[in-house]
């Protein structure tokens, strides 16, 4: 739907209901228009009258919800779905995925490509499935092929509808890292069992950083390995290592990253300060790994603070707070100050 059509619909609904409520929030996306405000009449009267007027105007699929908060018990939300053409085959997504399959095979081999893309698929479909479950219109995953050591810049989904509350935001955000982390641990375990140990090398190469979880897995599979020895990772283990790296980066509490979504769902406005502290810490750690400055720039580009949801005061509950702590622990376990380095 064109932007002018959306504005026209919003103006029409405003005229229809202006005497019944004070409209203060409008969010429009390709799949829905969501309006929120405080009613001037009792809630039951508003629902009956507003429904009648919207039906008469042709909005027979509009949904009216009581969105009370502690500060505003008279708050109401109206969702007007926008008819969309049935989705066909997402050819762009398919083409990008095929290109990413080719680029990851080229950079790491078939075994690496299979396991690493499986990690990314679980991560993205964790987001996708929970987004659809929470009535958030999400696109199919977009994979990004790249000529780097992983063969890709990762993947993402586009959100095409407003996020209603922090519960939906949290569930959608946390599902991806948790799903990807589990598969990454499996890949790392399988790959470690196929890896070997070699003595000190006089040649250069790529040296991978060791997160806490990576060190723990190394100790389990290679007890007694000395500091002068190197673990030569099997491609599957390298895929697991890469999956842990992607999980960690996504859990940074910045803007539109998964960690930013999770932090906002739990802390609301406190997420902004957490993001600023994180960027300051990354700037400090960049003394040892300059690439962290790129993530500081990404955080600034995305804006450190997270935008509010429509029904922002709805609580997320203790269970989700605990799950958020689990996500924080996973971030700590996967973090490495120097993820990798090149030595000539």
DSSP letter (8 states) at residue 206: E
Q: Domain-by-domain residue ranges, the chain?
A: 3-81, 91-343
DSSP letter (8 states) at residue 138: B
Instruction: Report the distance separating Cα 174 and Cα 19, nearest Å.
Output: 41
Average pLDDT, the chain: 88
Instruction: Report the distance separating Cα 323 and Cα 262, nearest Å.
Output: 10
Phi, psi dihedral angles at 218 (to 5 degrees): -65, -40
CATH fold label, 3-81: Alpha-Beta Plaits (3.30.70)
pLDDT at residue number 53:
87
pLDDT at residue number 206:
73
Give percent of the chain above pLDDT 90: 51
Residue 33 pairs with which residues in a beta bridge? Answer: 28, 80
HSE-up of 60 (CA within 13 Å, CB side)? 2
Kindly indicate the confidence band of residue 203, based on its pLDDT and cuts at 50, 70 and 90.
Answer: low
pLDDT at residue number 338:
92
Instruction: Report the distance separating Cα 271 and Cα 262, nearest Å.
Output: 9
**pLDDT tens digits, residue range 16-66?**
888 989 888 887 776 678 888 888 888 888 888 988 888 888 887 788 887
Name the 3-class secondary structure at 34: strand
Instruction: Report the distance separating Cα 191 and Cα 114, nearest Å.
Output: 12
pLDDT at residue number 2:
58
Kindly indicate the confidence band of residue 119, based on its pLDDT and cuts at 50, 70 and 90.
Answer: very high
Any long-range contacts for 11-15 (C-beta under 8 Å, 24+ apart)? 12/57, 13/54, 13/57, 13/59, 13/78, 13/80
């Amino acid at each position: 739907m064109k932007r002018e059509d959306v504005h026209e619909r919003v103006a029409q609904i405003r005229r229809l209901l202006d005497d019944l409520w004070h409209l203060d929030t409008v969010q429009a996306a390709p799949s829905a228009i969501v309006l929120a405000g405080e009613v001037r009449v009792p809630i039951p009267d508003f629902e009956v009258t507003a429904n009648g007027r919207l039906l008469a105007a042709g909005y027979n699929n509009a949904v009216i919800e009581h969105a009370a908060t502690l500060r505003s018990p008279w708050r109401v939300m109206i969702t007007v779905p926008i008819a969309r053409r049935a989705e066909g085959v997402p050819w762009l997504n398919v083409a990008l995925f095929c290109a990413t399959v080719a680029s990851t095979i080229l950079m790491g081999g078939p075994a690496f490509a299979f396991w690493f893309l499986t990690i990314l698929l679980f991560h993205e479909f964790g987001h996708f499935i929970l987004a659809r479950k929470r009535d958030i219109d999400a696109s199919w995953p977009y994979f990004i092929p790249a000529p780097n050591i992983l063969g890709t810049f990762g993947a993402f989904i586009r959100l095409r509808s407003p996020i209603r509350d922090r519960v939906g935001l949290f569930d959608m955000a946390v599902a991806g890292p948790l799903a990807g982390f589990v598969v990454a641990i499996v890949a790392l375990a399988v790959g470690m069992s196929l890896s070997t140990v070699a003595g000190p090398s006089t040649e250069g190469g790529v040296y991978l950083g060791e997160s806490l979880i990576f060190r723990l897995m190394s100790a389990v599979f290679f007890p007694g390995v000395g500091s002068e020895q190197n673990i030569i990772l099997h491609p599957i283990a390298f895929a697991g290592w890469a999956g842990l790296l992607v999980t960690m980066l996504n859990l940074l509490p910045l803007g539109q990253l998964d960690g930013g979504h999770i932090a906002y769902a739990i802390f609301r406005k406190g997420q902004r300060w957490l993001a600023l502290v994180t960027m300051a810490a990354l700037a400090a750690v960049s003394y040892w790994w300059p690439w962290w400055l790129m993530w500081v720039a990404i955080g600034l580009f995305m804006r450190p603070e997270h935008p509010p949801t429509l029904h922002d005061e709805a609580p997320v509950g203790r269970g989700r707070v605990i799950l958020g702590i689990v996500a924080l622990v996973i971030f700590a376990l996967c973090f490495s100050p120097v993820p990798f380095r090149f030595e000539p």
